[in-house]
């Protein structure tokens, strides 16, 4: 194949390329790849292959480490006091079930296509390059911002554990603007140390994560045991103030579901496990066990933690900001607060390790597709890790953690991740029911659009309509309509493919429920989250228009088509049509 001039070889050439942006966007933005290409030609752009060293127990460890951070010590109190009361135990169980449904969607893709790109690769083979880049870019920015915030949180928790205020660990620079004037060298050191570990070896990263996760679970077990030992069963039904609602469901079913929405973000983290798929020895066996197993274990841990807290104190006495520390202090066990601080510190470290591993692998695969510089795609021949992507994002995260006091408390990875969960659930339905060139995609697209629209209407009614008969009637109507749309699609549109190794059960019910729940949870987020999402999305679109589409076009022209228009015929070797 003859080589062509790059769109970036000179300023004049670049201006000529920009003038062709509409036609290039039409060609590349909606081009889709195949599983075979993602695992062969695209993966080969990294040079050295990532070493397959991980087994199912490594993935379980990564999943637990990624999910069980410091946030659980806060979310439990907030959900119990404000929403669910003692029924927060059921809130965690419902949220865990919802997380498991999303995990199933990730697992089908990860088993079929064990590459490091996670959701980016799944969307690229389904909805095309632009949709994949937009969601992947948002996800990376959310990871970087939240990792910086979590690293600064480590300083606060560790300082509280040893009895030293975090203010003494930070250097205040009065000339800097408020919110950027506290320099945190501890957070920087933690981020850079973890960056070195993940650059050195994924296997060693797994060992470090396993040790820290085991220690963290020991501290969680301590909290659970003390709660059941010191607590009283009567606190499950009797509030401290008789005037407050009593019983196990003081705020009814609505309180339980609102509580589930509040605690669902405690389960975010298992998605990073899918980015390890390329380094798994036996993807067909290990990935389903690793992803689903970690979600189930974390659900059990969370439910036991919630139960122990509700036994320690009546729900109307729980401190929504620091529930466990306050509960132990009220019983004269102040030293236990420091134990919780130690456990939270370990949880922060494990969540940082998993998130930083995940963000580097997202960036690596985005680099393979040439929508960011291909330098990010390189895998080091000695360590078999994406060193360039890991080092760049690690330094970027450390720079943000150095200056910026990010006010990210519960939403460690919020709107970007929920949006990606929503997109992956749509993608798994589309991929099962549409084979490009052989089936009509419009019935499936119409189903996905109408079901999403009905879910959005349900969410808006739930959030803005006053409680009463009207609200109940509107919600019921939306529910009936959603089920009717789902059943009509199920009985009239046949599946175009069957997964060869592992597939989401009860198709299309499971991904449809995941679509609804992720939209419902997106509706529970605050305005600033949407502003941040809109800003990041705008930056990503500009980057794609002025760089990515041209770099992708050059790559297609130089080495042959690396994708195809979504209407062209392709044969996907991993599915039976």
Q: What is the pLDDT of residues 489-516, one digit of tens each?
A: 999 999 998 888 889 999 999 999 999 9
What is residue 495's predicted lDDT score, i.e. its pLDDT?
Answer: 92
Q: What is the pLDDT of residues 416-475, one digit of tens each?
A: 778 888 999 999 999 999 987 788 999 999 999 999 999 999 999 988 888 889 999 999
The yes-or-no verdict on residue 155 having pLDDT over 70 is yes
What is residue 179's predicted lDDT score, i.e. its pLDDT?
Answer: 58
Q: Are residues 415 and 522 in contact, defined by beta-carbon separation less than 8 angstroms?
A: yes
Domains in the chain: ranges and CATH = 31-525 (1.20.1740.10)
Query: Which of 84-88, 203-207, 269-273, 489-493 bottoms out in mean pLDDT, i.e. has the lowest?
Result: 269-273
Residues contacting residue 332 through CB under 8 Å, at least 6 positions apart = none
Q: What is the pLDDT of residues 536-553, one digit of tens each?
A: 899 999 999 999 999 988
Q: What is the pLDDT of residues 365-393, one digit of tens each?
A: 999 888 999 899 898 888 888 999 999 99
What is residue 433's predicted lDDT score, i.e. its pLDDT?
Answer: 94
Residues contacting residue 209 through CB under 8 Å, at least 6 positions apart = 61, 62, 65, 350, 353, 354
What is residue 577's predicted lDDT score, i.e. its pLDDT?
Answer: 39
Query: Which of 84-93, 341-350, 563-572 bottoms out in mean pLDDT, i.e. has the lowest?
Result: 563-572
The pLDDT-based confidence of 565 (bands split at 50, 70, 90) is very low
Phi first, then psi: give them for residue 69, nearest 5 degrees.
-100, -155
The yes-or-no verdict on residue 570 having pLDDT over 90 is no
How crowded is residue 246: how many other Cβ atoms within 10 Å of its Cβ? 17
Instruction: Work out the average pLDDT over 14-22.
Output: 91
Q: What is the pLDDT of residues 239-292, one digit of tens each?
A: 888 888 888 888 888 788 888 877 887 787 888 888 888 889 899 999 999 999
Q: 540 is written with which tokens? A: 């990503």
* 261-275: b (≥16 Cβ within 10 Å) or e: bbbbbbbbbbbbbbb
Q: What is the pLDDT of residues 342-367, one digit of tens each?
A: 877 888 888 889 989 988 999 999 99
């Amino acid at each position: 194949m003859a080589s062509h001039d790059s769109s970036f070889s000179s300023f004049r050439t670049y201006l000529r390329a920009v003038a062709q942006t509409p036609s290039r966007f039409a060609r590349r933005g909606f081009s889709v790849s195949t599983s075979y290409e993602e695992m062969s030609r695209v993966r080969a752009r990294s040079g050295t292959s990532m070493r397959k060293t991980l087994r199912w127990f490594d993935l379980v460890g990564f999943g637990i480490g990624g999910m069980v951070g410091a946030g659980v010590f806060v979310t439990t109190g907030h959900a119990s006091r404000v929403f669910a009361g003692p029924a927060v135990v059921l809130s965690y169980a419902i949220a865990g079930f919802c997380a498991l449904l999303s995990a199933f969607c990730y697992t089908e893709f990860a088993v079929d296509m064990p590459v490091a790109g996670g959701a980016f690769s799944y969307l690229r083979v389904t909805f095309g390059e632009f949709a994949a880049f937009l969601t992947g870019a948002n996800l990376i920015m959310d990871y970087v911002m939240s990792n910086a915030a979590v690293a600064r949180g480590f300083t606060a928790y560790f300082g509280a554990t040893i009895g030293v205020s975090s203010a003494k660990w930070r250097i205040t620079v009065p000339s800097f603007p408020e919110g950027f004037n506290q320099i945190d060298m501890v957070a920087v050191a933690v981020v850079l140390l973890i960056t070195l570990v993940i650059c050195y070896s994924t296997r060693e990263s797994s060992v470090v994560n396993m040790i820290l996760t085991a220690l963290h679970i020991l501290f969680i077990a301590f909290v659970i045991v003390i709660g059941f030992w010191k607590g009283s069963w009567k606190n499950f039904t009797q509030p401290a103030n008789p005037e407050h609602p009593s019983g196990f469901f003081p705020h009814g079913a609505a309180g339980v579901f609102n509580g589930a929405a509040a605690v669902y973000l405690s389960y975010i983290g298992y998605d990073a496990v899918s980015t390890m798929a390329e380094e798994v020895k036996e993807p067909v066996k290990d990935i389903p066990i690793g992803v689903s197993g970690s979600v189930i274990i974390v659900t059990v841990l969370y439910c036991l933690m919630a139960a122990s807290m509700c036994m320690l104190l009546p729900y109307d006495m729980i401190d929504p900001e620091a529930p466990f520390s306050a509960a132990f202090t009220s019983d004269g066990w102040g030293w236990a607060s420091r134990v919780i601080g130690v456990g939270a510190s370990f949880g922060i470290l494990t969540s940082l390790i998993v998130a930083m591993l995940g963000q580097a692998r997202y960036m690596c695969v985005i680099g393979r597709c040439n929508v960011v510089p291909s330098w990010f795609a390189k895998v080091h021949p000695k360590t078999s890790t994406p060193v360039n992507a890991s080092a760049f994002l690690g330094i970027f995260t450390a720079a943000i953690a150095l200056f910026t006091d990010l006010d990210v408390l519960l939403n460690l990875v919020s709107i970007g991740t929920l949006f990606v969960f929503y997109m992956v659930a749509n993608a798994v339905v589309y991929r099962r029911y549409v084979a490009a060139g052989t089936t009509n995609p419009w019935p499936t697209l119409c189903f996905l659009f109408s079901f999403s629209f009905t879910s959005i209407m349900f969410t808006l009614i739930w959030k803005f309509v006053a409680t009463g008969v009207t609200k109940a009637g509107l919600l019921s109507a939306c529910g009936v309509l959603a089920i009717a749309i789902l059943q009509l699609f199920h009985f009239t549109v046949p599946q175009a493919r069957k997964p060869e190794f592992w597939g989401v059960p009860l198709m299309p019910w499971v991904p449809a429920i995941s679509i609804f729940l992720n939209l419902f949870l997106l509706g529970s987020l605050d305005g600033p989250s949407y502003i941040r999402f809109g800003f990041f999305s705008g930056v990503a679109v500009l980057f794609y228009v002025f760089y990515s589409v041209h770099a992708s076009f050059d790559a297609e022209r130089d080495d042959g088509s690396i994708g195809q228009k979504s209407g062209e015929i392709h044969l996907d070797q991993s599915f039976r049509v």
